[in-house]
Amino acid sequence: MFPPQFDYRRPENLEEALEAVAADDAVALAGGHDLVPKLKQRETNPGTVVDLAGLDGLRGVGSGQNEVEVGALTTYAAMLDTAPKGVDALLDATGEVGDTQIRNRGTVGGNLAAAHPASDIPAAALALDATLHLTGPGGVRSLPTEAFYGDDGETVCGDDELLTELTVPQAAGDGSAYARKTHPSTGYAAVGVAARLCLDSMGISEARVAVTGLLDSPARLESVERALVGAGATDEEFSEATARAGEAFDESGVRSDHLVSADQRLRLLPVYAEKAISQALDRAVDRTGVSA
């Protein structure tokens, strides 16, 4: 449990940080919950660890034009303390991460960039249609969450780029939620589902539902989304839409390990999809007063 030797740099501004991470075999350190265990297990052997702790500008939650701006180095605890309106799924997911100590240290951006297949935040970001902003030597490029993650558990973040900000749209008339089955010994999501629903007088006008823990990368439940749009708010109709959530996935592509089998994850999926969707709907009804 002793890491190999590495150089340590602690840049004081983003420019220096970008220059430092662009070096060969340099890795960025935010909260460290992904990197430090890998170092201690000697699963990674970077030449340089670039500690981002000095980049105060990347910390904090702000409001823009109908959107919430989350600096990548915002801790989970700061996110929960700030509790911006209209991004409930993100707050639900943030509250599920680890325990108090972990939430005091771990960062929202670090969670997204580490791309652990069972991370909570990516599912919420995907359901809320968040935009991820990557800063590199050529400036900032902004990607929707789905474009940030490949299918293989990797991200498109370049070696010379840093994830610097997350922006989440706030819409009137929507409600969102995240629900997960927590694995009792690891604390990770066996399956976690985030949902965002928009209501109008006709019922559900938009739906985005995303799952984590199931595949190597977060994924949308498009068949469920299609079934929800236009649906009335009866329990039976949701159950019908969510019960078939697993059918879209080939079991061979579903994560399976000694903790949770693929079959079990697929069985959990409809249950937690229904929890997330029904809570998102309750919240949407509360916000809009529409009784769909």
Would you count residue 3 as binding another protein (CB under 8 A)?
A: yes
| C-beta contacts of 7-10 below 8 A and 24+ residues apart | 7/47, 7/48, 7/49, 8/48, 8/49, 8/51, 9/48, 9/49, 9/50, 9/51, 10/50, 10/51, 10/53, 10/54
Would you count residue 4 as binding another protein (CB under 8 A)?
A: yes
Would you count residue 2 as binding another protein (CB under 8 A)?
A: yes
Q: Are 281 and 239 in contact (CB under 8 A)?
A: no
Would you count residue 226 as binding another protein (CB under 8 A)?
A: no
Q: Which is nearer to another protein, 5 or 291 (CB)?
A: 5
The sign of the torsion formed by the CA atoms of 116, 121, 126, 131 equals negative
Stretch near another protein under the rule CB under 8 A, chosen from 1-9, 48-56, 64-72, 80-88: 1-9
Q: Which is nearer to another protein, 2 or 8 (CB)?
A: 2
Q: Which is nearer to another protein, 2 or 252 (CB)?
A: 2
Q: Rounded distance, CA 148 to CA 32, Å?
A: 21
Minimum distance from residue 41 beta carbon to another protein (Å): 11
Q: How many alpha carbons lie under 13 Å from residue 125 in its C-beta half-sphere?
A: 30
**Backbone torsions φ then ψ of 235, nearest 5 degrees:** -60, -40
Minimum distance from residue 25 beta carbon to another protein (Å): 17
Q: Are 132 and 164 in contact (CB under 8 A)?
A: no
Q: Which is nearer to another protein, 102 or 290 (CB)?
A: 102
Would you count residue 37 as binding another protein (CB under 8 A)?
A: no
Q: Rounded distance, CA 62 to CA 69, Å?
A: 5
Q: Rounded distance, CA 289 to CA 89, Å?
A: 20
Identify residues 46-75 at the interface with another protein (CB under 8 A): none
Would you count residue 95 as binding another protein (CB under 8 A)?
A: no
Would you count residue 5 as binding another protein (CB under 8 A)?
A: yes
Binding-residue total with another protein (CB under 8 A): 6
Among 7, 15, 36, 42, binds another protein (CB under 8 A): 42
Would you count residue 8 as binding another protein (CB under 8 A)?
A: no
Q: Which is nearer to another protein, 46 or 86 (CB)?
A: 46
DSSP 269: H
Q: Which is nearer to another protein, 26 or 39 (CB)?
A: 39
Q: Which is nearer to another protein, 201 or 258 (CB)?
A: 258
Q: Are 26 and 33 in contact (CB under 8 A)?
A: no
Residue numbers at the binding site for another protein (CB under 8 A): 1-5, 42
